[in-house]
Amino acid sequence: MSESRRRRSPKMFMVASDYKVQDHLEGTIRLQRGQLCQQQEGGAHRSGRGDYLWVKVIDNGCVVKVDRQVLSEVPAEFAGLLEPVPDLDVRVKLLSRTQFLQRMAGLALGSEVRVIWSRSQSELAEAELRYRGPLTRGSSAVYFGVQLRGWAAGRGKCNGSYKGHQLFSCPDGCGLFLPVSEITLPRSSRGSSSSDHQSNGQSPVSILSRAAESGPNPGVPQPLGVGQRVCFIQDECVQRGSVLFCGPLSNRTPSTLYVGVLLDHPGGSWDGYYKSIKLCSIPSPEFGALLPLSKVTAESRSERSPLAVTSPKLPPLPVPNKPALQPPSPSKDPPNRLLIQPSMLLTARQALQPPSSSAPKAALKPPALTTPKPALQPPAAPPNKPQAPPPDQSRSSNGFHNLPSPPIAEQRAEFGTWLEVGSMVEVNDPPLFGVIRWIGQINNIPEPVAGIELDQELSAATDGSYLGERHFHCPANKGLFVKLRNCRRDSRFPEPELPINQVDRCNSIAFANWSSKRVEEHTPPLSGADARLTYEGFKKGIQGHLNSCYLDASLFSMFSCCSSFDWLLFWPVGAQNNPISQSAQDLLRCEIVNPLRRYGYVCASKTMALRKLLKEETADSGFTNEEKDPEELLNQLFLLLQVEPLLKIRSVSQKAQECFIYQLFPPAVSPSSPVLSPLVSPGLLRVSSVQALLESSFMHSGLKLTEAPSCLPLLMPRFGKEFKMFDAILPSLSLDITDLLDETLRQCSICQSVAQWECLQCYEDVDITPGQLKQYCNTCNTQVHTHKKRQTHRPVEVRGPRGCWEGPVHGARQLMDLFAVTCIETSHYVSFVKHGPGATDWLFFDSMADREGGENGFNVPQVRSCPEVGRYLSLSVDEVSRLDASSLRDPVRRLLCDAYMCLYHCPQLSLYK
């Protein structure tokens, strides 16, 4: 095939002067001086008035026909550098600085640069070049990723990630992505070796993908890309892993590069930090190693076999046979050669395709043709064509490529796990790159076959047909058919990140920047203005991680502003108790509760440690990674701490039962039921209060409290998201449990004498004070049930203290105060906490209010004041039922409509407890 048939990269131009174009649809289109344009295929047009080109304006995407005279051709290696520069005048000036652009295009990663911090004050910031390339998939704009040093450290905007993609690793707030116009070189290096980069107007271009690094320098090992597979000798054994960092170290010689490796097997001793500076994320020091670049060798495809680290003594590592990984020889590789040709920029622009690993596999030998058609045979490949294999290693027949080397066993088992139509793959060695366009079966071939569209033309390829049958469409001489098992991932891009175990990741190393301190001294809860000052803001409260909101909201409700649950922290732990119980109590007291009250923040790694203890004790792995409910946490936590139950309840069978939390079970109600707000009409909300629900639940179940509890956790009735018995539940600020206590003096509902009878049927009677407990003395009981409507009632005798009691009862009521409410919406728990005596003293807490980073990022907890909640809690049930549901806004709507658990306490009894 002649050179004229080879596809060329489109030419790039810059508009040399302002220009107007008349378009039939858009009208007048103005092109400004400095805008970049890309010539379209077949876009040249010559007329009597001059030469015209059809071009696409990169800055706005429009396609116009422009006079060739107003366009200045831009070298393809400079176009990507100039594209992200926003100021058009600066673009024009940069284009004239050819030597500077050449140096920036070939600048090695790890080089020292200066960031133009303030042009008006000529202020420069020290930085290190860590990445060069596009920020998004398919983009051709080349940005420079730098790590700020010196006084500018911490004033950046990222940690080396862009929209969830980790392009390089650096501490938070130290990374920046900048165009070439915002970067300059130190004075010591601006004039050095300038002549090395000048040769016929060309420069060492290094505009590569995310997997690509900088170009090789003579005599210096080429830096390794992040994600690249490497190996090295350790204790006479081979260690293998993936590169997470490659560059110089502070206070070390800049010319000496170091490699941070994430090992496949334990055997390292590096945590990803160097002199308190985080270079990369290592889940455990056993899987990290930091080595000089000279001691690390990039894996060749032939070396990627499943060798164990504990193998016996191995021979020396073979020298990799990839030319790109060898230090170039000055005599063979002159410093001014192009690292990539302009025709390869289209490949480099696909930088952010899913990364993948590679391994050698043989292509497929086609079956013999019974009736070969000479007209369909592709022409022989020219001997100097770089992408064609040597004649003695390949032969062609209708797009099939025959290779002698068989695939290794590891990839035989792996090929079906990731290959699909659209996968970027390579075959052969030296490799041919392409994209899978078709997967299927072909006659006489027992294995699945892949149809690949190659990046470059090959004389042995077709247009997507095989033996006269078309399987996909592609340009001529680009279609290749191989066995599916002989395809391997495109080695030009980094391997995919292995799925990270988020449970193991939640440790003090990965969460170092989010850590919280241990506090041994008992710290009382905060209240009033002190609570707001300590808790309010982002990164406050308990940090959420991996479905932990049920635990975060529950613990914040229990301990942030109330001491009623503090007895859990000091419950005596005897020698007979489980050591896990002692660890859990110490963890809860010193790592969670005390730091929360002292500093207002607890790291997710602390709560994950508690979740692991719960998992170990209960054998329920869901505590570390699955969604749970607060009642599951409280029940298992109390059992783990081996404490006494909170509640003691007598049932109808007169037998006392113990529990930690009570679930409200109201009966099936009608619109006239006293549990609902009175006179419910279609235009009103169905509302009930916690007081009414508790009384109804106890009355219909025949339950009584054998003693007054210090804390009363109540679960609200819920029937899933689709159906709710109540549109809203009003948390009662004060809960009266006097008439729910067993063997106590109770007042007659009519004459206030000692009550001796109570009646469930009267409780449901709307004619006599509906929604209140009905209990009578002997006289009032006889009078009430003499009425013909109530003759069928069956009153029950009340259990009271022994002795003779006559006359009115003037005893104090047993009240409990509301101090926290946990709510749920779409499986996410939040909490409301009362932090002071005032009606408006309420805080709202969300452990996952915001997020930094992508899948491997961090949740940001938040606590904020919500005084508006107090105004709604002071309303009556009838007033709440008349509210317009659409007028309720967060957080009030969540409190009234999504209440899940209400926490009540009696401060006097809690102190005694």
DSSP 344: G
Give every CB contact of residue 409 below 8 A, 6+ residues apart in sequence. Answer: none
What is the Cα–Cα distance from 860 to 864, expressed in whole angstroms? Answer: 13
| 83 phi-psi bin (left φ>0, alpha ψ -120 to 50, beta other) | alpha
What is the Cα–Cα distance from 90 to 634, expressed in whole angstroms? Answer: 64
Write down the catalytic residue from 62, 659, 828, 897.
828
Residue with tokens 């916690």: 690
Distances (CA, A) of 873 to 285, 690, 764: 52, 12, 26
| 514 phi-psi bin (left φ>0, alpha ψ -120 to 50, beta other) | alpha
Is the Cβ–Cβ distance between 536 and 865 less than 8 Å?
yes
Write down the catalytic residue from 280, 549, 590, 759.
549
Using CA atoms of 466, 470, 473, 474 in order, give the dihedral in degrees to the nearest 10: 20
Half-sphere exposure for 614 (CA within 13 Å, toward CB): 26
Residue with tokens 């009425």: 787
What is the Cα–Cα distance from 870 to 311, expressed in whole angstroms? Answer: 68
231: which 2 tokens? 């190996």
Q: For residue 463, how many other CB atoms are within 10 A of its CB?
A: 16
Give Cα 208 to chain centroid, integer Å. Answer: 27
694: which 2 tokens? 């508790």
Our answer to whether residue 265 is catalytic in this structure is no
Concatenating the DSSP letter of every residue in 748-809 gives -TTT-BB--EE-HHHHT-TTSSTTS--EE-HHHHHHHTTSGGGTT---EEPP--SS---SB-
Q: Report which of 441, 366, 458, 433 is spatially closest to residue 403, judged by C-alpha positions.
A: 366
Helical segments of 546-587, H only: 549-559, 579-586
The residue type of 213 is E
Using CA atoms of 205, 210, 212, 213 in order, give the dihedral in degrees to the nearest 10: 80
Q: Which residues of 883-899 are buried (b: 16+ CB within 10 A; e: fewer)?
A: beeeebeebbbbbbbbb
Our answer to whether residue 549 is catalytic in this structure is yes
Q: Tell me the Cα Rg of the chain.
A: 38
Is the Cβ–Cβ distance between 306 and 544 less than 8 Å?
no
Instruction: Say whether 138 sits in a helix, a strand or coil.
Output: coil
What is the Cα–Cα distance from 707 to 814, expressed in whole angstroms? Answer: 11
Pairing of strands 687-689, 734-736: unpaired
What is the Cα–Cα distance from 228 to 358, expressed in whole angstroms? Answer: 11
Q: Report which of 700, 714, 810 is spatially closest to residue 753, judged by C-alpha positions.
A: 810
Instruction: Say whether 413 sits in a helix, a strand or coil.
Output: helix
Which residues belong to the active site? 549, 828
